């Protein structure tokens, strides 16, 4: 196993530059998830590590080897593809052993590796079947089995769970995480699903338009997002953003919304936000940090347009009195109803303030 280091990586297709000056260091045995919206460059980055895309500039290191110009087969990476990329004319056993056959590994060793992979992934009953006779989850296990037997320096996963149904996705998520624990391997995993990223990763790299917005542990991304993009991308439902101004005055430091609503900032956070007195900001608050009714000093009015009961809690979807969209997560038995104004309490110790021009967190 080995770490991966990308230094000043760029990738251009003709005149279009999709990744420009990307730096990322992945530790040995680390599980890193690259996450971001479609077209953000996460898959391109993964493919550049594997050598399936040639970098336009920069250096790719795996361990202490510079692999920038090496072809994929010499990088000792295994990849699990979104569409499994199994050889349809081969049995599960042949799919798993194909790479070993190519490398001329002897029969006994191949059998041993297949037996190990089949045991770990529960594939023993299916070894002589062909991929078309397997379910999506089983196919994905075969693809993972093929990756395991390579004993690679780095495992690369390219949205491997996207084609599975929701239930299977959750099961496979856990399996891959357990596999990481068991193999103690370096894994780079690409997904557009932030829940997948948060639940699996040691470290999540949030990408947008070819740039790393933030790379941190999942809980850090959630609690202290570096900017509005990360704040909006991590967490479901997404964080609410309202235009506001920070104002001092008789009641102490407060966030004043554009409709004049005053939301006092707790004393414990004055030191951090005091310097913003008088400046315009974007007030960010997650739906789960709001509550039904007037339960404290920081209360704003909301006009619900839809009530979405989810069981453990209910989502109130509507807009603030300033007209900006707003989603609040309230008690499951809320009395809220569409088109009936209601008070919403904000937990100000959890709120975030962002620069309205740069989007960076204060």
Partner 1 sequence: MRDPFKYIFIWPAFLVVLMVGLFPLIYSLTVSFMSMRLVPPRPPRFVGLENYVDLLASDRFWDTIGTTLFVVIVSVTIQYVVGFAVALALHAKVPGERLFRVVFLFPMLMAPIAVALVGRMLFHSTVGPVNHFFTFLGFPNLPFLTDADWAIATIIAVEVWQWTPFVILLMLAGLQSLPQDVYEAADLENASAWQKFWGITFPMLLPVSAAVVFIRIIEAFKIMDTVFVLTGGGPGTSTETLTLFAYQEGFKKFNLGYTSALSFLFLLTVILFGIVYLVLIRPQVEKRI
Give whichever of 70 and 317 is closer to partner 1, judged by the CB atom.
70
Compute the least distance from the CB of residue 54 to partner 1, in Å.
12
Do residues 91 and 125 touch, judged by C-beta distance below 8 A? no
# residues contacting partner 1 (CB under 8 A): 25
Task: Please choose, from the candidates 288, 297, 193, the residue with its C-alpha nearest in 3D space to the C-alpha of residue 239.
Answer: 288
Compute the least distance from the CB of residue 183 to partner 1, in Å.
17
Compute the least distance from the CB of residue 58 to partner 1, in Å.
21
Query: What is the b/e burial string over 73-88, where b = at least 16 CB atoms within 10 angstroms of the residue's CB?
Result: eebbbbbbbbebebee
Give whichever of 105 and 256 is closer to partner 1, judged by the CB atom.
105
Give whichever of 83 and 295 is closer to partner 1, judged by the CB atom.
83
Give whichever of 71 and 182 is closer to partner 1, judged by the CB atom.
71
**Which residues from 128-167 bind partner 1, rule CB under 8 A?**
146, 150
**Which residues from 35-64 bind partner 1, rule CB under 8 A?**
50-52
User: Could you give the string, one character per residue 61-100, with x where binding to partner 1 holds by CB under 8 A and - elsewhere?
Assistant: ----------xxxxx-xxx-x-x-xxxxx--------xx-
The three-state (H, E, C) secondary structure of 62-111, written as one string: ECCEECCCCCHHHCCEEEECCCCCCCCCCCHHHHHHHHHHHHCCCHHHHH
**Which residues from 267-286 bind partner 1, rule CB under 8 A?**
none
Residues shown for the chain: 362
The three-state (H, E, C) secondary structure of the chain, written as one string: CCCEEEEEEEEEECCEEEEEEEEEEECCCCEEEEECCCCCCHHHHHHHHHCCCCCCEEEEEECCEECCCCCHHHCCEEEECCCCCCCCCCCHHHHHHHHHHHHCCCHHHHHHHHHHHHHHHCCHHHCCCCHHHCCHHHHHHHHHHHHHCCCCCEEEEECCCCCCCHHHHHHHHHHHHHHHHHHCCEEEEEECCHHHHHHHCCEEEEEECCEEEEEECHHHHHHCCCEHHHHHHCCCCCCEEEEEEEECCCCCCEEEECCCCEEECCHHHHHHHHHHCCCEEEEEECHHHEEECCCCCCEEEEEEEEEEECCCEEEEEEEECCCCEEEEEEECCCCCCCCCCEEEEECHHHCEEECCCCCEEC
**Which residues from 102-121 bind partner 1, rule CB under 8 A?**
102-103
Give whichever of 51 and 210 is closer to partner 1, judged by the CB atom.
51
Token reading at 198: 């948060």
Compute the least distance from the CB of residue 157 to partner 1, in Å.
13
Compute the least distance from the CB of residue 84 to partner 1, in Å.
8
Compute the least distance from the CB of residue 40 to partner 1, in Å.
21
Compute the least distance from the CB of residue 98 to partner 1, in Å.
6
Give whichever of 13 and 87 is closer to partner 1, judged by the CB atom.
87
Query: φ, ψ for residue 138 (rounded to 5)?
Result: -65, -40
Give whichever of 103 and 333 is closer to partner 1, judged by the CB atom.
103
Compute the least distance from the CB of residue 327 to partner 1, in Å.
38
Compute the least distance from the CB of residue 21 to partner 1, in Å.
26
Give whichever of 54 and 341 is closer to partner 1, judged by the CB atom.
54
Give whichever of 9 and 79 is closer to partner 1, judged by the CB atom.
79
Compute the least distance from the CB of residue 70 to partner 1, in Å.
10
Give whichever of 96 and 346 is closer to partner 1, judged by the CB atom.
96
The residues that touch partner 1, with contacts defined as CB under 8 A, are: 50-52, 71-75, 77-79, 81, 83, 85-89, 98-99, 101-103, 146, 150
């Amino acid at each position: 196993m080995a770490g991966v280091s990308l230094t000043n990586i760029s990738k251009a297709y003709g005149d279009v530059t999709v990744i420009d000056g990307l730096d990322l260091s992945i530790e040995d045995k680390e599980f890193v998830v690259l996450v971001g919206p479609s077209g953000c460059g996460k898959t391109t980055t993964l493919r550049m590590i594997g050598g399936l895309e040639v970098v336009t500039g920069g250096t790719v290191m795996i361990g202490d080897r510079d692999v920038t110009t090496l072809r994929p087969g010499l990088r000792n990476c295994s990849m699990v593809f979104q569409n499994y990329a199994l050889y349809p004319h081969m049995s599960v056993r042949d799919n798993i052993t194909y790479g070993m056959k190519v490398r001329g590994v002897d029969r006994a060793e191949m059998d041993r590796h297949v037996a190990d992979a089949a045991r770990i992934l529960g594939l023993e009953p299916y070894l002589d079947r062909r991929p078309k006779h397997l379910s999506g989850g089983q196919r994905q296990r075969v693809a993972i089995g093929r990756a395991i037997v390579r004993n690679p320096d780095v495992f690369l996963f390219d949205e491997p769970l996207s084609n599975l149904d929701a239930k299977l996705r959750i099961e496979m998520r856990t399996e891959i995480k357990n596999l990481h624990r068991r193999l103690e391997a370096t894994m780079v995993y690409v997904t557009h699903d932030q829940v997948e990223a948060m639940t699996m990763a040691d470290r999540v790299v949030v990408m947008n338009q070819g740039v790393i917005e933030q790379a941190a542990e999942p809980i850090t991304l959630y609690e202290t997002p570096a900017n509005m993009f990360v704040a909006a991308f991590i967490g479901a439902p997404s964080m609410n953003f309202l235009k506001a101004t920070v104002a001092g005055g008789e009641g102490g430091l407060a966030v004043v919304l554009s409709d004049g609503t005053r939301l006092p900032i707790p004393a414990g956070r004055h030191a951090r936000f005091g310097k913003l007195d008088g400046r315009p900001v974007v007030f960010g608050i997650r739906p789960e940090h709001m509550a039904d009714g007037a339960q404290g000093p920081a209360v704003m009015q909301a006009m619900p347009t839809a009530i979405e009961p989810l069981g453990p809690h209910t989502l109130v979807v509507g807009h603030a009195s300033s007209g900006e969209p707003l989603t609040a997560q309230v008690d499951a038995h809320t009395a809220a109803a569409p088109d009936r104004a209601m008070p919403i309490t904000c937990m100000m110790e959890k709120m975030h303030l962002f620069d309205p021009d740069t989007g960076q967190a204060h």
